[in-house]
Amino acid sequence: MTVNTSTAGTFVRFHPVKMRLPMIAVLAALIAFLLLAPAHLESDETLANTAYRQMLAGNTKAAVALYRRALERNPASPYRWCDFGEASLQAGNTDMAKRCMTRAAALGPHMPQILLRAANLAFALGDTDSALSYGSRVLAIVPDYDEIVFSTYERMGIPLGDITARGLPDGRAAESFAKYRVAQTSR
């Protein structure tokens, strides 16, 4: 750095080569961080996709660990809670699966996709009451999922009386279910 004085005042002139050194050091540190810490840069979505591939390959233990990391990255995501819950169930940890299902539904109380996944987890856990409750909540939100919910009830062998008593939230859903049953019997 050179200090010049003149009649116009004092000014500082920076030497171009000396200014490059701090910039090079900053760039080198950034490159080192990017190369040495890639785990910090993975999104929860990337981790979940990798975990899903591990599940498909039959590597449940690795999938559970990856889903746990994805959940740690984004604990406010009901999708990550569903992912971790489903993997936990696959690994035989039913208590964790149940806690995850409950948390996912609490974080996504108006998200039919989350409630459907929670219903499926509940059915897999043998918790018919919760499954019917989640299914009923889906039916109350949007009619687009009616057939999916009804076929799930049917696939899980839920008695008709239980479906009509606890699995249909309102008259619209009951009417839709009646139409679904008629269509099923005419096939």
71/18 same-domain check: no
Query: What percent of the chain is predicted at pLDDT more than 90?
Result: 75
Q: How many CB atoms are located within 10 Å of the residue 165 CB?
A: 10
Structure tokens at 156: 């899980």
- In this structure, the answer to whether residues 116 and 62 fall within a common structural domain is no
**Is the same domain home to 130 and 159?**
yes
Judge whether 101 and 114 are in contact, CB under 8 Å. Answer: no
For 93-103, the pLDDT digits (tens) are: 999 999 999 99
CA atoms within 13 A of residue 84's CA, in its CB half-sphere: 29
Which residue in the block uniquely carries the two structure tokens 């499954």? 131
Does residue 125 share a domain with residue 179?
yes
Clarify whether residues 113 and 184 are in a common domain: yes
Contact by Cβ (8 Å): 97, 88: yes
**Tokens (6 digits) for 143:** 């009619």
pLDDT over threshold 80, residue 37: no
> Which structural domain, as residue segments, surrounds residue 9?
1-41
* Per-residue pLDDT tens over the stretch 132-186: 999 999 999 999 999 999 999 999 999 999 999 999 999 999 999 999 999 998 8
CATH number of domain containing 63: 1.25.40.10
The pair phi, psi for residue 94, each rounded to 5°, is -70, -35
Q: What is the pLDDT of residues 52-68, one digit of tens each?
A: 999 999 999 999 999 99
pLDDT band at 16 (very low <50, low <70, confident <90, very high): low
187 pLDDT exceeds 90?
no
Q: How confident is the model at residue 26 (pLDDT cuts 50, 70, 90)?
A: confident
Do 2 and 19 belong together in one domain?
A: yes
Residues 51 and 124 in one domain: no
Q: How far apart are CA 69 and CA 75, in angstroms?
A: 10
How many domains does the chain divide into? 3
